[in-house]
Amino acid sequence: MGLPMVAHRLRRDLGDAAVITDPVARRTYECVGLTPYRCTPGLVVWPEDAEGVQAAVLACREAGVPFVARGSGTGPSGGALAEAKGALPGTDVGLPQADRALPEADGVVIVTGRMRRIIEVDLPNRRAVVEPGVLNLAVSDTVGPTGYFYAPDQSSQRMRSIGGNVAENSGGPHCVKYGFTTQHVSGLEVCTPDGDLVRLGVGKAVRSPGYDLTGVFIGSEGTLGIATKIVVKLLRAPESVRTILAAFDSIDRAGAAASAITTAGVQPAAAEIMDTLAIRAAEAVVDRGYPAGTRAVLIVELDGPAVEVEAETAALTALFAGALALRTADDPAGRAAIWKGHETAVGRIRRDHPVGSISGESGVGDHTSAKLPSMFSVDDLATTQDDLATMQLVRRAFDPGNRANPGKVFPTPRLCGERSPAALAPCRTGERIRGAG
């Protein structure tokens, strides 16, 4: 069948505007937040609802074509890139852009950016049902007038989609108090790699019996399917929010101040340290006005009852007595201005220095998959192989055909050129997961 027939079928089912085959137009989707890694997809599809995603996945299944979901395209791990033919994308990142090869893919990129409906808001149960293309900030903006908000990844809510957060199990600075995405999602509708629409989790209920398949799916980076509807938890908005920036003359002083916060019994809503490299990256884009001699910046956000925030501010002011400068902001614009320096630095560093470690915030994708073995049983190679093989078996239970975002998360080759037949063999038909309550 191949990509031409997939394109023909999806034009028939979804309309011409939903299918992109033009080579120049496809280049728009050749990279994500990790810009040095590039791969032009063979086909791009823009479904408008769950049934459109299902149609695209079914067409890929029948054609034997791999697919990858893409949200806002801000992910820094390269996880939403189509798998390249031949050399992996990013292998020539040391070359000037004009001299780099531009890998292409046989696969399909399924973009969820048009799926931006907030389907339901249920305040008595503190839940909202949204589509994957909905931005984090859109949920908070919708429920904010009623005194609620959506907690995850607050510092970049205006550009991150909830579908992408689900795929990566995103955290961000506010995971200090509020945790990761998995703590704020109670149910999913997903399109499996076989094209079935199934529900995972409890939806609006409080507890779920049996296996936590919602938890398994969140953070799987598109290797187990595509989330088409997400049930998110809503929290009561805090009475007061204050962001504090402290500039220090050394990273050691900033680190000591950060440690002292916990010792003092203060629970920040968010905390981040910027070192000299991050400060230079931020100020290369725009002057943040850090005082001369600044070598590290500590950003702390407090929230809760107003009297509590005032008491915690007084405690932090005493702890930060050795800082070169101290700034506070209570209004949304002022808080955003403080966080802007951090966001700018992170983006600049990821662009200029695409070498990272595995984290709960950015996923594994293609960029850091080679580091995965070091996260498990470092001193025992046999146990590491067993750990990775077990994870592969979970993936194969959902995707026996290896069509959903292949080549991501797990290192290829696995370990020193070795591949485990048990981990890579397709599951028997009776072992496939078809759905869960």
Per-residue DSSP letters for 154-166? GGGTTT-BHHHHH
pLDDT at residue 93, as a whole number = 43
Q: Which of 67, 87, 111 is the last residue of a domain?
A: 111
Kindly compute the dihedral angle of the four CA atoms of residues 184, 186, 192, 197, in this order, to the nearest 10 degrees. -130
Task: Note whether 135 and 54 are same-domain residues.
Answer: no
| Mode of pairing for the β-strands spanning 127-130 and 118-122 | antiparallel
Task: Note whether 197 and 299 are same-domain residues.
Answer: no
| Contact indicator for 64, 51 with CB cutoff of 8 Å | no
Q: How many domains is the chain partitioned into structurally?
A: 4
User: Per the domain annotation, does 265 fall within a domain?
Assistant: yes
Domain span including residue 218: 118-236
pLDDT at residue 72, as a whole number = 82
The CATH number given to whatever domain includes residue 338 is 3.30.70.2190
Strands (E), 249-361: 270-274, 296-304, 325-329
User: Per the domain annotation, does 358 fall within a domain?
Assistant: no
Task: Note whether 141 and 205 are same-domain residues.
Answer: yes
Q: Which of 108, 137, 138 is nearest to 29 (CA)?
A: 108
User: Per the domain annotation, does 189 fall within a domain?
Assistant: yes
User: Per the domain annotation, does 364 fall within a domain?
Assistant: no
Q: Within 10 A of 174 (CB to CB), how many other CB atoms are there?
A: 22
The distance from CA 115 to its chain's CA centroid, rounded to whole angstroms, is: 17
Q: What is the largest CA-CA distance in the chain?
A: 69
Task: Note whether 147 and 74 are same-domain residues.
Answer: no
Q: Which of 69, 86, 87, 85 is nearest to 32 (CA)?
A: 69
The CATH number given to whatever domain includes residue 71 is 3.30.43.10
| Contact indicator for 80, 35 with CB cutoff of 8 Å | no
User: Per the domain annotation, does 63 fall within a domain?
Assistant: yes
CA 144, CA 132: separation in Å to the nearest integer? 20
Residue 87, class by beta-carbon neighbours within 10 Å (0-12 exposed, 13-18 middle, 19+ buried)?
Answer: exposed
Residue 133 parent element (H or E): none
Task: Note whether 255 and 315 are same-domain residues.
Answer: yes
pLDDT at residue 155, as a whole number = 54
pLDDT at residue 248, as a whole number = 97
pLDDT at residue 275, as a whole number = 92
Phi, psi of 338 (to 5 degrees): -65, -45
CA 376, CA 371: separation in Å to the nearest integer? 10
CA 173, CA 152: separation in Å to the nearest integer? 9
pLDDT in tens, the chain (437 residues): 589 999 999 999 999 999 999 999 998 888 777 676 788 899 999 999 999 999 999 999 999 999 999 988 777 666 677 776 644 444 444 434 443 444 557 789 999 999 999 999 999 999 999 999 999 889 999 999 999 999 986 555 567 899 999 998 988 888 889 999 999 999 999 999 999 999 999 877 767 678 899 999 999 999 999 999 999 999 999 999 999 999 999 999 999 999 999 899 999 999 999 999 888 888 887 778 889 999 999 999 999 999 999 999 999 999 999 999 999 999 999 998 898 877 777 666 666 665 555 555 556 555 555 666 666 655 666 666 777 788 888 888 999 998 999 877 776 554 433 343 333 333 333 333 333 33
User: Per the domain annotation, does 166 fall within a domain?
Assistant: yes
Residue 82, class by beta-carbon neighbours within 10 Å (0-12 exposed, 13-18 middle, 19+ buried)?
Answer: buried
Task: Note whether 74 and 128 are same-domain residues.
Answer: no
Could you tell me the two tokens for 436?
């869960």
User: Per the domain annotation, does 359 fall within a domain?
Assistant: no
Residue 12 parent element (H or E): helix 2-14
